[in-house]
Structure 1
Amino acid sequence: MTPKELRQILQALVEHGVSELTLETPDYKLTVRRGGEVQMVAVPQVVAAPAPAAAPIPAAVPELAPAPPSAPKGATPPEEDACPGCVEVRAPIVGTFYRAPAPDAPPYVQEGDRVEKGQVLCIIEAMKLMNEIESEVSGIVRKILVQNGEPVEYGQPLFLIQPV
């Protein structure tokens, strides 16, 4: 693999918000994880040998199944006891979280504010597009789980809203 090919792969990962990629060829195995970890392992050449008796294949091998969304490193998981019955508003896309429509504008919502279903809570910028994130329920914003300007992952909790 040439440096130019590797650069193109890394650029595509960033543009599409992919958090992990594994590429395997006859010569090497390349694993790239978001956060800068790159691992490349050379695969030794194997001389053809008689195949041993077939071993049973495990029933479920979820190799191509996507990993379930998880909170990124450093994120604090929401406390269930802190807000019983609260609804988590999760990031529907990967991007940058903004609490206000502009740097000099007031935030859409603050902790303790009452919100209505469909009311804009924040913006997530993804690939130069501003995506408004709306409340899924009417209620009171109990906790804002992300700081302004922080990157967010798909499925990451953003707000805890107590329905009323």
Structure 2
Amino acid sequence: MGVLTDYFRAADAASVVQALEQTDGESPVVGPERPVFDGVEAKGVDPAVVLAMLIAAIQQIPWRVDLVKETTVWPAFPAPGPDNLEDEDNPWVTGPWVSELHPLTRDTLAAVRDSEVPTIVARWVEAEELHGARVEDMQPLAEELILLARRARKASEQLYCWMSL
């Protein structure tokens, strides 16, 4: 089972929560209606590991667990105690989850020069978690994420990640 991940830009967490409440937590990037937010489908590119490895490749530093800082915005209520983590109706257990990415992640992506992308992606695909992905397959995704980050920065918006099992 893979993790579905979509990255998108929005003005603030309140607008994200409002959109998710109207769609029962469905992806604000993909769906039967037009997308709610400008975004990118990025199946399996979770923020803490795979996106952080892209950020590490950009910065030419080793990956570390705290490289991409996130703040959970959905579910919009506090996480339950450990006794309630087996409830199949609990969205904290089943998802979807949405987190706001720290502005440094947006700005790091947005600052990448187009000419640097092939070299960065070549470093990124060396990550064990990408399971032998090829530069030519991952470069379009990296370019989409970079362009999304540029649009977010230009509009003074934040980047968000929607994840679901």
User: Same fold judged by TM-score > 0.5?
Assistant: no
More strand per residue: 1 or 2?
1
Question: Which of the pair has more CA radius of gyration?
Answer: 1
Short-chain TM bin: under 0.3
Instruction: Flag the structure with more relative contact order, 1 or 2, with Cα contacts below 8 A and sequence separation at least 6.
Output: 2
More helix per residue: 1 or 2?
2
